Amino acid sequence: MAVLDYIIPGYKGYRERTQSRATDRAFRDYLTAKMKEVHDRLEQVKYNITSDLTKISLMNDAENATMLLTKVRDRLRWSNQGFAGNLFGSKTETEAIDAIAEFDKKLEEHREKVFNAIEEIETKFAEGENIKPLFMKLTNSLRALDTHLNDRENLLRKTIG
């Protein structure tokens, strides 16, 4: 394919954008699946809470976390690619695509924090410890991810123009 980059004007930019779109979609699908996994785990925790009436006061915290998790998961799934549309493969546009890709790498760090938070909730709940502060930790991790998605949208707006 590298030969076509030199033979057909604009082909290299087209190929790079196509690959970037596919990579972006696959990465966001991966993150969405991971957030679905967290959602399922959170639902199990909520079920366990309802099974222990002494912990029922945690249900509001669990529901708040669930609502925010659903919002973040949906945003990941349906967010803009940022380089669809009328980009022509210029050096500036390629650099913008690379900047978005770098920015998106931080999404994995946020995903890891969310995973650690749900893991800690599950472990401490099984040990009979107070998990109320852990729901706050999960919610804060989800808010940070949501804020990162806001920043991503702002970056995309600047890129698209």
- The pTM for the full model equals 0.79
Contact in structure between 77 and 69 (CB atoms under 8 Å): no
Mean pLDDT across 21-29: 80
Better-scored residue on pLDDT, 40 or 29:
40
* pLDDT at residue 24 in the model: 76
Domain ranges of the chain: 2-160
* pLDDT at residue 4 in the model: 52
Contact in structure between 46 and 62 (CB atoms under 8 Å): yes
The token pair that represents 98 in the structure block: 């690379």
* pLDDT at residue 85 in the model: 47
State the Cα–Cα distance between residues 156 and 144, nearest whole angstrom.
Answer: 18
Q: What is the pLDDT of residues 42-53, one digit of tens each?
A: 999 999 999 988
Q: What is the pLDDT of residues 75-133, one digit of tens each?
A: 888 876 655 544 555 666 667 777 777 778 889 999 999 999 999 999 999 999 999 99
Asked if the model's pLDDT at residue 146 lies above 60, the reply is yes
Mean pLDDT across 123-146: 95
